[in-house]
Every structure is written in C-alpha cells, then in structure tokens.
Amino acid sequence: MEAQTAALVMGAGGLAVSAHVLWRAGARQRRQHGWPWWVATLAVSTLVWPLCIWAALRPSTAGNILAAAWLLGWPMAWLAGWRRFHARQRLPGQGWLDGSAWALATLASPWWPWQAVVLLHVYVTAVLCVGRARTADHGLGWTAVAVAAAALPAMFALLEAASAPLDRLLPWWAGLAALWACSLLALASMAERTEQELRASRRRLQVLAGTDPLTGVSNRRHFEAATARRRLQSGAPPPVLLLLDIDHFKQINDHLGHATGDRALRLVGQCILDALRDSDLAVRLGGDEFALLLHGATLPQAMQVAERVVLQVQRLASNHRLPVLSLSFGLVPWRHDEALDEALHRADRALYEAKRQGRSRAVAAHGDDAAPAFSESQRLGLDSP
C-alpha cells in the first residue's frame, strides 16, 4: 500500500509540476491560443488521476466510469488546445465534431469502456497525423505518437490480456506518461513559435532600420552597408550610379506646402521602386535627393531607367494632386577601386551639369572628379512649369 501511495503521489506531483511549468512558460510571453486548454488539462488531471488509480485498484462501476472519463477527456482537451494553437492552419474536422465524438464515447463508456477509449484515441491520433501534414510543427506529430501509445494498453485490456491488478493499471499509467510527453511537446511548440516570432520581428526591425519611412526606399545606412557587401564580389561588371533630384523642389514646398512636397517624394520613391530590378538598389540620401545603383547595366540602359522613372512620375502626378514634375539625373560608371563618396561626388557633378543644361535631363560623366567628361545628355519627359 505504501508503494502504491508513493506512486500516486509521484504521478500527481509530476502532473502538478508539468502544469506549473507550462503555466509559467505561457505567462511570461505573449498569450498563445491553446495554452489555457493544456494547462487546465494538466491541472484537472492532477486531481482526477489519483482517483482513477484508486478506482482501478477497487473495481466498481462508478470507478470504471470515472477512470474512463479521464482517459476519454484529456486527449480531447489536448486536441482542442492544438486546434486553437494552429487556428490559422486549420486541423481536419471541427470542434463540434470533436465534441460529438467525445459525447458518444462517454455515453458508451459504462458498457464498453475500453472500446470507447481505443476508438477515441484513434480519432485523435488521425486528426493530429493529418494536421501534421498541414503544419510545420513537429510537436503535433509527436503528440499523435504519444496518444497512439497511450491507446495500446487499453487495447490489451480490450483483448482481456490484463488479469493482475498491476496489469489493470497499465492504461492509466500509459495515459499519465502520454500526458507528460504531451506537456513537453506543447512546451517545445510554444518555444519554437516564440523563436519564429522573434526572428520575424528581428527581420522586420532590420527592414525598418534600413528603410526611409516617407518614401519606402532604403536609407543611407542600408545603402552603404549593401554597397560595401557587393563591392567585395570580384569579377562583376562595374555598376552604374545615378544621382537624381526633383527640379524646383524648394518652390513646391514654399508655394504648395510641405504636405505636397511629401506627396511628391512618396510618388518619386514608388516610381523608382517600380522601375528597378530586385538586384538594383535605391536610396534617399536626404531631402529630394535619391541615388540608384544598377548592377550589370550600361549607360544607355541606365538612361532608359531614368526615362521610365520620369514618365511614370509625370503620368501619376495628377492622381496625387501634384503639378507636373521633372527630374534631373547624373550618371557615372562606378569603378571598382572607387569609394562610394567619390562616386557620389562625380555623380553630383554630372547632376549639376544636367541642371546647368536646363534641368529635366540626364547627363553621364566619365573620367575623374578633377577633369570630368560629360558625354551622353538626354532630355527626359516634360518640363515642369
């Protein structure tokens, strides 16, 4: 009797510890759906499980009903938790179907207790196995294994293979072990989801830290880091660097207001992003000044990109309650042995030349900063009023 009492205390204590650990883990992070069901299942089992073992040692109708109710109840409660945990990736079946299966099994348990237990465990195992194929949660599949293992002693009892008192306890001990395993799997799944959310949050923060909030293009810090990484790649052809700004932008702010200026900047940023490839880079350097880096492009191809940006900006300006906008570009091939600031300074000289030639124009520069040679010069779109 002392050994049996010690086993009961150890089993109930293990369930209580599992409930406490799972509760503490869920309470310290963002509340996850399904977690209350799992904690409640462990808490109720802490109280009910010793009564089930006591009933198994003293066979009676009431004891069998109580024990069968626990064996039928905890897998269904655990399944309800999984349904809420994976609410976005729906598991097969519905909650009303789970409730109907549990109600039918409970009604049949006074006459066919082991049959009801086995069939309900098979149902839960099937739902979890099919659900594992729809999710990337390994805990879901291992929970199915634990529930299936918990049903095996009940199948032995159904075949009347259990005769000794110790053998009659196997179904309840198997349920206890399966519940312990499920609590560890639930804890692992919660930790895995938390880690995934942290990684996703870190990626979002990295994107936000490197993005200009007004226009949606990169900011200078991200641009410098990205160009530094790309310059380490040897053998690639030199990219073309474009520097551009909005003509007469100060007049837009002074005469039409800063809200209009912000709309103009957002429109230019969006048109730039629409015109670039995934391998290209765009940055807002400050004010109305932007820079583009086109990898593997020639100067004529860069001129075409500038033309596309200008035409798109002028086509959409009226939709954004803006006057006709014009842009000026300075283009330079970025040499491999050249620092970013040096290339930007040469592009700025080309941009100044585009302004000197009348704005709404793209001008390409060759040579060094001391003696630039302005070669290609192309008119872009319409003049702004």
The two beta strands, 240-246 and 327-333, are antiparallel
Q: What would the pLDDT profile of 73-125 be if each residue is shown by its tens digit?
A: 889 988 888 888 888 878 888 888 888 888 888 888 777 777 888 888 888 88
Read off the pLDDT of residues 10-21 as tens digits, 9 standing for 90 and up: 777 888 888 888
* Helix boundaries (H) for the chain: 2-27, 35-57, 61-85, 95-108, 113-134, 138-158, 165-168, 170-209, 220-231, 249-256, 258-275, 299-316, 340-356
Work out the number of other CB atoms within 10 angstroms of the CB of residue 114: 22
Q: Please answer whether residues 15 and 179 qualify as being in contact, where contact means their C-beta atoms are separated by less than 8 angstroms.
A: yes
In the 3-class helix/strand/coil scheme, how is 148-195 assigned residue by residue? HHHHHHHHHHHCCCCCCHHHHCHHHHHHHHHHHHHHHHHHHHHHHHHH
**Average pLDDT, integer, range 136-154:** 82
pLDDT tens digits for range 48-58: 877 777 766 66
Higher pLDDT, residue 39 or 134:
39
Residue 67 has pLDDT above 80, yes or no: no
Residues in the chain: 385
**Which region among 33-47, 150-164, 254-268 has the lowest average model confidence (pLDDT)?**
150-164
- pLDDT at 299 exceeding the cut of 70: yes
Dihedral Cα 342, 346, 351, 353, nearest 10 deg: 150
Residue 323 has φ and ψ, to the nearest 5°, of -70, 175
Q: Reduced to 3 states, what is the DSSP secondary structure of residue 336?
A: coil
Angle in degrees, 0-180, between the axes of helices 95-108 and 61-85, rounded to the nearest 10: 170
Q: Contact at 8 Å (CB) between 323 and 317?
A: yes
**pLDDT of 234:** 55
For residue 3, the model assigns a pLDDT of 60
Q: Where is pLDDT greater, at 337 or 163?
A: 337
- Count Cβ atoms below 10 Å from residue 92 Cβ, excluding itself: 14
Write out the two tokens for 319.
């939709």
Structure tokens that stand for 116 in this block: 């009801």
CA distances for 354 relative to 159, 245, 276, 310, 357, angstroms = 92, 11, 22, 14, 5
What digits encode the pLDDT tens for the residues 199-239?
888 888 877 778 888 998 988 888 888 887 665 555 667 88
Query: Does 24 score more than 60 pLDDT?
Result: yes
Label residue 382 by pLDDT band (50, 70, 90): low
Q: Which residues of 130-143 are buried (b: 16+ CB within 10 A; e: fewer)?
A: ebbeebebebbbbb
Task: Quote the pTM value.
Answer: 0.62
According to DSSP, the residues that pair with 361 across neighbouring strands are 379
Whether residue 1 is predicted with pLDDT greater than 80 in this model: the reply is no
Cα–Cα dist 343/302, whole Å:
16
Residue scoring higher pLDDT (307 or 198): 307
DSSP tag of 319: G
Q: Is the pLDDT of residue 159 over 70?
A: no
If you search the block for the tokens 């992003």, which residue do you land on?
Answer: 273
Sheet order of strands, 361-366 included: 281-286, 289-294, 240-246, 327-333, 361-366, 373-379
